[in-house]
């Protein structure tokens, strides 16, 4: 299978004080995505920032500005918006980007499958919140980008599938190397890949120095990669050189070429995930009526 490249340009943590290369404003993010499209990516995972403070924001208006800018030059790039619980805990805040419609509609929304601790902060994802976000995406015809930091989160995805809140085909980001979660080694990655539900596509991400290792493992073993300054701001493990997003993407292309793998086109992943073709048709091709109720426990 061709290589899924999931580009993560910004994230919630990097600031201009940490690295001059992280894109913060809509214009900066759009430009980094434009350069990424020229290099070759399959999808983009967006975080929005408040332009006055640089802090993370859930505002649909800012996400909309970014999305319209991207779609001015790429009509079929798969776009995922972040629904992170690291900063915002109210459903109405986290779900606001899902309200975008028409040419601004995202194809996907991130769904972290449990609460977890990072180095200095907690991401709160209660069962009720996860299920409410999954249900909202299902009703709106938006595919969850399933984020799993350990094998237990994958098991929870299977539980949600049994409840009818998730429907295959699935796309998973498997994130390894966080201090309180699965570590970035072959055994942890293998267990998580083995436990994925049927009809799942996946990418490996590594936190910090683990990014290159996990990306390399994924390329060599037939999976996809999640790559960008969201997960690692350094180009080298000695941390002597700040990375640009273009640096990280060009390295992925070199590794892919060495392994005889082509980067998957957005059009091809759209077909695999039952997404609209782009060019005005975004999100899941089929989704139930908005009147569908949350399915009760079986």
Sequence ranges of the domains in the chain: 5-272
Q: Which residue spans within 134-186 are E strands per DSSP?
A: 143-148, 170-176
**Would the pLDDT of 2 be above 80?**
yes
Residue 291 has what pLDDT? 42
Q: How far apart are CA 116 and CA 294, in angstroms?
A: 25
Confidence check: pLDDT of 104 > 60: yes
Region 129-156: mean pLDDT is 98
Banded model confidence at residue 87, pLDDT cuts 50, 70, 90: confident
Residue 120 in this model has a pLDDT that exceeds 90: no
pTM over 0.85: yes
Give the number of other CB atoms < 10 A from CB of residue 19: 14
The answer, yes or no, to whether residue 130 has pLDDT greater than 90, is: yes
Residue 288 pLDDT: 54
**pLDDT more than 70, % of the chain:** 96
Q: Residue 297: pLDDT band by 50, 70, 90 thresholds? A: very low
Strand partners, 17: none
Query: Residue 296: what pLDDT?
Result: 43
Nearest to 24 by CA among 40, 13, 39, 34: 13
Q: Give me the pLDDT at residue 290, please.
A: 42
Instruction: Measure the CA–CA gap between 125 and 157, rounded to whole angstroms.
Output: 13
Three-state secondary structure string covering 95-111: CHHHHCCHHHCCCEEEE
Q: How far is CA 288 from CA 102, 158, 160, 296, in A?
A: 18, 20, 16, 16
Among 114, 173, 175, 111, CA closest to 142: 111
Distance CA 101, CA 281 (A): 10
- More confident site: 291 or 84: 84
CATH code matching the domain that covers 5-272, chosen among 1.10.3720.10, 1.20.120.350, 3.20.20.70, 3.90.1640.30: 3.20.20.70
Inter-residue contact 3 to 257 (CB < 8 Å): no
Gyration radius of the chain over CA positions: 18
DSSP classification of residue 104: G
Q: How do residues 166-179 score in pLDDT, each as one tens digit? A: 999 999 999 999 99
For residue 10, the model assigns a pLDDT of 98
Instruction: Give the 3-state secondary structure of residue 288.
Output: coil
**Are 174 and 203 spatial neighbours (Cβ–Cβ below 8 Å)?**
yes
**pLDDT recorded at residue 287:** 55
Residue 41 has pLDDT above 70, yes or no: yes
Distance, in Å, from the CA atom of 186 to the CA atom of 192, rounded to the nearest integer, reads 10
């Amino acid at each position: 299978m061709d290589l899924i490249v999931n580009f993560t340009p910004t994230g919630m943590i990097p600031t201009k004080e940490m690295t001059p290369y992280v894109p913060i404003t809509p214009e900066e993010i759009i430009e980094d995505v434009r350069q990424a499209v020229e290099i070759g990516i399959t999808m983009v995972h967006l975080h929005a920032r408040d332009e006055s403070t640089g802090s993370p924001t859930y505002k649909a208006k800012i996400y909309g500005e970014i999305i319209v800018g991207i779609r001015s030059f790429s009509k079929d790039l798969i776009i995922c918006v972040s629904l992170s619980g690291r900063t915002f805990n109210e459903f109405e805040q986290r779900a606001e980007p899902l309200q975008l419609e028409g040419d601004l509609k995202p194809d996907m929304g991130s769904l972290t499958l449990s609460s977890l601790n990072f180095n200095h902060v907690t991401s709160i994802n209660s069962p009720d919140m996860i299920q409410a976000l999954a249900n909202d995406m299902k009703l709106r015809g938006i595919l969850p980008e399933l984020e799993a930091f350990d094998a237990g989160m994958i098991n929870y995805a299977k539980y949600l599938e049994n409840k009818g809140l998730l429907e295959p085909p699935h796309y998973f980001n498997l994130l390894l190397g966080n201090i309180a979660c699965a570590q970035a080694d072959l055994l942890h990655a293998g267990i998580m890949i083995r436990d994925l539900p049927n009809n799942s596509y996946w990418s490996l991400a590594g936190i910090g120095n683990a990014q290159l290792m996990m990306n390399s493992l994924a390329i060599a073993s037939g999976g996809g990669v999640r790559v960008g300054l969201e997960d690692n701001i350094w180009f080298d493990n000695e941390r002597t050189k700040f990375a640009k997003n273009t640096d990280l993407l060009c390295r992925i292309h070199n590794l892919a070429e060495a392994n005889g793998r082509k980067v998957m086109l957005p059009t091809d992943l759209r077909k695999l995930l039952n997404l609209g073709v782009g060019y005005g048709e975004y999100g899941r091709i089929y989704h139930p009526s908005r009147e569908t109720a949350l399915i009760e426990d079986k």
